[in-house]
């Protein structure tokens, strides 16, 4: 299958990864729910985007070479006014220095305390494998994850959810709605399909995937790593 245009363009530019925005553009095509966001080139566009999306919002520097956003102060959360967006935009772009960027992402701030991780890796022996587990800071600390070789079915995805030790997080917790397992299953199936159809995708990391207070899962951060095999 031909590579997706987003991937083709990135490879032609010599990128080793998609930007966060392009990563989500790709994933959304495969049925993975992503946060509402706009890419802004200047503070006026950022303010307009925030008005369209609705406050509160999050601002992030965006580009294929941008990593460690929090440590470099390239993220601002909980912004509630045009003035705060303008100030945050100027601060983030000032902290970028010489790092190339595509602009600043303006994202809807998603309410929810439950964070998951979903992703894709290419195993040398088994090929593309889908991953599911606890997200946020607990991904590395607890290593509570499950894997399946792609392609997977929604039944496989449901079994992956039941495999983790902390599966109770998907149920009703502290008055929050249970996770929408159907949407979550389709997202995992979509990751497997990307692995089967897009050979240039070496790895996908979606962390966190937030389970909203309404139970709907939403990818708020994503990274797609590329190889040159899709050229």
* Domain boundaries, given as residue ranges, for the chain: 5-33+111-226, 37-108
What is the DSSP pairing of strand 127-134 with strand 37-40? unpaired
Cβ-count burial of 122 within 10 angstroms (0-12 exposed, 13-18 middle, 19+ buried)? middle
- Tell me which of 3.40.920.10, 3.40.50.12160, 3.30.1490.20, 3.40.50.2300 is the CATH number of domain 37-108: 3.30.1490.20
**Cβ proximity of 46 and 24 under 8 Å:** no
Instruction: State residue 230's pLDDT score.
Output: 46
Instruction: State residue 229's pLDDT score.
Output: 52
Instruction: State residue 112's pLDDT score.
Output: 87
Q: Fold match between 5-33+111-226 and 37-108?
A: no
Instruction: State residue 143's pLDDT score.
Output: 85
| Residue listed under structure tokens 């495969």 | 30
Instruction: State residue 2's pLDDT score.
Output: 82
Per-residue pLDDT of the chain in tens (231 residues, 90 and over written 9): 688 999 999 999 999 999 999 999 999 999 999 999 999 999 999 999 999 999 999 999 999 999 778 889 999 999 999 999 999 999 999 999 999 999 999 999 998 889 999 999 999 999 999 999 998 777 777 789 999 999 999 999 999 999 999 999 999 988 889 999 999 999 999 999 999 999 999 999 999 999 998 999 999 999 999 996 544
Tokens matching residue 88: 């945050």
Regarding the domain delimited by 5-33+111-226, which CATH topology (the fold level of the hierarchy) does it fall under? D-amino Acid Aminotransferase; Chain A, domain 1 (3.30.470)
């Amino acid at each position: 299958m031909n590579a997706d245009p987003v991937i083709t363009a990135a490879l032609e530019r010599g990128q080793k990864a998609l930007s966060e925005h392009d990563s989500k553009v790709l994933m959304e095509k495969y049925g993975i729910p992503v946060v509402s966001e706009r890419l802004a080139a200047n503070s006026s566009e950022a303010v307009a985007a925030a008005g369209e999306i609705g406050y509160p919002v999050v601002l992030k520097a965006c580009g294929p070479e941008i990593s460690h956003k929090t440590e470099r102060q390239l993220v601002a959360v909980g912004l509630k006014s045009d003035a705060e967006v303008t100030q945050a935009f100027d601060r983030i772009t000032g902290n970028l220095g010489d790092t190339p960027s595509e602009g600043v992402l303006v994202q809807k701030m998603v309410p929810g305390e439950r964070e998951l991780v979903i992703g894709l890796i290419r195993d040398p022996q088994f090929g593309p494998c889908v991953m599911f587990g606890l997200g946020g800071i607990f991904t590395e600390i607890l290593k509570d994850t499950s894997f399946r070789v792609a392609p997977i079915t929604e039944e496989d995805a449901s079994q992956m959810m039941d495999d983790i030790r902390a599966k109770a997080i998907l149920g009703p917790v502290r008055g929050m709605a249970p996770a929408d397992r159907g949407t979550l299953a389709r997202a995992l199936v979509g990751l497997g399909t990307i692995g089967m159809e897009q050979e240039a995708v070496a790895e996908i990391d979606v962390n966190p995937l937030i389970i909203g207070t309404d139970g709907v899962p939403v990818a708020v951060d994503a990274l797609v790593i590329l190889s040159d095999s899709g050229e």
